[in-house]
């Protein structure tokens, strides 16, 4: 369905840093060559929501921990070596946009967008951890030393990434509850406003009806006086 109104996803995009904004607010930006300004906008957009905003890994192709399942490897495509991982960058944008759309977040609400970004980054960290666990297993064996006969001693423990996944889930749950509570609070405030307006209209209608009734009584009395 065509519409001139921006979708929530488009609204999310409106909050991006632009070259025009940097021209006004960033000291010295006017001296940056025109061909380099796009780099500055992208760089600052990545830093915008804090350290987690720079969480995408740089492409190292065959040296990457996730190269075996990378679509660039599976389809024999030239990877963007040294650049930002396009898969992770897309996932962050996708998850952020989906959340912003689902929660009807205003694209100009910096606080809400920051929380949405944190949820997306948390999901990215969990995704990485789960892929590493799929390769390494949930149990780690570490060398402790040797016994009196010179035999190697090992200890076994749960992979530390399990704790990271648990912490990521808890953080995501906390943030989503906060975002949902904010939406519910705004919704309740709107309902209160609607009820207040309805009450005012009801009172106004009652006053109008009373005024009409009083006018009819006055008119009836005038008619009675004229007939005497």
Q: What is the pLDDT of residue 217?
A: 57
| Predicted TM-score (pTM) above 0.85 | no
Question: What are 119-161's pLDDT values in tens digits?
Answer: 888 888 888 888 888 888 888 888 888 888 888 888 888 888 8
Q: Given a cut of 90, is residue 73 above it in pLDDT?
A: yes
What value does the mean pLDDT take over residues 26-43? 78
At 67, is the pLDDT very low, low, confident or very high (cuts 50, 70, 90)?
very high
pLDDT for 31: 81
Contact 133, 196 (CB under 8 A): no
Which helix (DSSP H) or strand (DSSP E) does residue 154 occupy? strand 152-158
| Distance of alpha carbon 145 from alpha carbon 31, whole angstroms | 61
Nearest Cα residue to 106 out of 221, 213, 4, 13: 13
User: What pLDDT is stored for residue 2 in this prediction?
Assistant: 41
pLDDT at 204 over 60: yes
């Amino acid at each position: 369905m065509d519409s001139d109104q921006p979708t929530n996803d488009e609204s999310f995009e409106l909050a991006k840093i632009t070259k025009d904004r940097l021209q006004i607010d960033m000291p010295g930006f006017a001296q940056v060559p025109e061909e380099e300004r796009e780099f500055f906008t992208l760089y600052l957009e990545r830093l915008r929501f804090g350290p987690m905003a720079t969480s995408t890994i740089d492409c190292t192709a065959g040296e990457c921990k996730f190269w075996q399942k990378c679509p660039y490897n599976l389809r024999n495509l030239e990877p963007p070596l040294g650049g930002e991982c396009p898969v992770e960058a897309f996932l962050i944008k996708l998850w952020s946009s989906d959340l912003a759309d689902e929660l009807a977040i205003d694209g100009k609400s910096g606080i809400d967008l920051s929380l949405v970004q944190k949820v997306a980054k948390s999901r990215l960290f969990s995704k990485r951890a789960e892929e590493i666990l799929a390769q390494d297993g949930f149990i780690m064996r570490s060398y402790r030393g040797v016994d009196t006969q010179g035999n190697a001693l090992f200890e076994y423990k749960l992979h530390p990434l399990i704790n990271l996944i648990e912490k990521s889930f808890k953080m995501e749950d906390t943030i989503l509850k906060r975002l949902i509570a904010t939406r519910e609070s705004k919704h309740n405030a709107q309902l209160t406003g609607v009820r207040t307006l309805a009450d005012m209209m009801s009172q106004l209608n009652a006053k109008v009806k009373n005024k009409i009734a009083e006018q009819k009584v006055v008119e009836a009395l005038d008619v009675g006086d004229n007939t005497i």
